[in-house]
Amino acid sequence: MGASSELGDFLKSRRAALRPEEVGITPHQTRRRVTGLRREELAMLANVSITHYTRLEQGRAAGVSDGLLEAIARTLRLTDDETVHLKDLARPAAASSRPAPTRATHASASARQLLAAMTDVPALILDRRNDVLAWNHLGHALLAGHLAPESPDTPATRPNVTRMLFLDQQYRKLYANWRDQAELAVAALRLVAGRHPDDRSLAELVGQLTMNCDEFASLWARHPVRTCTSGVKHLRHPLVGAMELSFENLLISGTSGQHLIAYTAEPGSPSEAALRLLGSVTASGAQDTSAVRHSITAPAGPASTAGGAARP
């Protein structure tokens, strides 16, 4: 993930996505060799010399200014996230010629205590690469009940939610809209990769996914960039069925990119009932999944409980 190569590929991908007609350029009748804007067209529109822009796209423009980058971003119609990513790639943090050794990270004792206190809310703590550092009982039951609860405790066995999304079939099946989740995961990972070009473990993760999953490789080659701090997940849980859960992605200050993700359901909704039932069933160690599903989908009656009346 060399910064120079990433910068050039990113700019080329955004040039290719912008048609001349969209920016007021009438193409000549002669056949164009590029699908989007040519370098010289972009340079003209951004009021940048073609030599300077070419050097930038080749990763050879040291000391490039904010003004120049913002002019290019406006011309390419980049989003705010994409503009930040462009600046990260154009001015990578100083790093040694060899990446620093990877050091395992851990969730703090206070963060773990917070997770444990969130008994009715599925939650987990991830590092910047999306390795799971810790999860509470309900977070484990919701997202990865097929894995050992203690798996985040040892760096060698830690789950990584991005890797699981592409390579773990049970985790993939959890998402009703898997394609949307995959695109978002790649876009978020691109943003992190731009900020940390010297992260060896991150580069290894990208390499592993690229080699082992054509879907990831195809998405990664498109250079999507997007941050995600909140939203809605549509899940199909193997025990309790369909759920629609809101999530918040909260950065933990004082860490190197650790963040806490918590999931909630709308009060009084079938999803809330399913989530509550998931907690009680997994806490009791019940294995009769057919009974669990029946208790959710059974029609409501006079004696029905809140959980029994729910329909996912």
In a domain, 212, yes or no: yes
CA distance linking residue 312 with residue 308, whole number of Å: 11
Write the CATH number for 128. Answer: 3.30.450.180
In this predicted structure, what is the pLDDT of residue 157?
A: 86
- 150: amino acid identity, one letter: E
Same domain for 153 and 22: no
Same domain for 120 and 86: no
Rounded to 10°, the helix 39-46/66-76 angle is 120
Work out the mean pLDDT of the chain and round it to a whole number: 86
Same domain for 59 and 157: no
Same domain for 113 and 86: no
In this predicted structure, what is the pLDDT of residue 304?
A: 37
Same domain for 252 and 196: yes
Q: What percent of the chain is modeled with pLDDT above 90?
A: 65
Same domain for 265 and 146: yes
241: left (phi over 0), alpha (psi -120 to 50) or beta: left
Residue 95's pLDDT band (cuts 50, 70, 90): very low
For 178-195, the pLDDT digits (tens) are 999 999 999 999 999 999
Order the strands of the 241-251 sheet from edge to edge: 132-135, 123-126, 259-264, 241-251, 230-237
Mean pLDDT over 187-209 rounds to 94
In this predicted structure, what is the pLDDT of residue 240?
A: 96
In this predicted structure, what is the pLDDT of residue 3?
A: 59
In this predicted structure, what is the pLDDT of residue 289?
A: 47
CA distance linking residue 118 with residue 169, whole number of Å: 28
In a domain, 311, yes or no: no
What is the helix (H) or strand (E) element at residue 34, kind and residue range? none
Same domain for 45 and 165: no
Residues contacting residue 178 through CB under 8 Å, at least 6 positions apart: 165, 172
For 248-282, the pLDDT digits (tens) are 999 998 888 999 999 999 999 999 999 999 999 98
Q: Which residue has the higher pLDDT, 138 or 4?
A: 138
C-beta separation of 158 from 201 below 8 A: no
Rounded to 10°, the helix 66-76/3-16 angle is 40
Write the CATH number for 19. Answer: 1.10.260.40
Same domain for 257 and 113: yes
Residue 101 has pLDDT above 50, yes or no: no
In a domain, 289, yes or no: no
C-beta separation of 176 from 271 below 8 A: no
Domain boundary among 59, 90, 121: 90
Q: Which residue has the higher pLDDT, 23 or 160?
A: 160
What is the chain's length?
312
Domain boundary among 31, 60, 90: 90
Range of the domain at 118: 109-272
146, 186, 192, 265, 268 from 197: Cα distances, Å: 33, 16, 9, 37, 45
CA distance linking residue 61 with residue 76, whole number of Å: 18
C-beta separation of 144 from 285 below 8 A: no
In this predicted structure, what is the pLDDT of residue 27?
A: 63
Mean pLDDT over 32-49 rounds to 86
In a domain, 280, yes or no: no
Same domain for 156 and 122: yes
Residue 39 has pLDDT above 60, yes or no: yes
Note every long-range contact of 214-221, with CB atoms under 8 Å and residues 24 or more positions apart, other chains counting.
215/166, 215/182, 216/166, 216/182, 216/186, 219/182, 219/183, 219/186, 220/186, 220/190
In a domain, 172, yes or no: yes
Same domain for 120 and 53: no
Same domain for 220 and 127: yes
In a domain, 304, yes or no: no
> 3-class DSSP state for residue 150?
coil
In a domain, 282, yes or no: no
CA 210 to chain centre: 16
Residue 36 has pLDDT above 90, yes or no: no
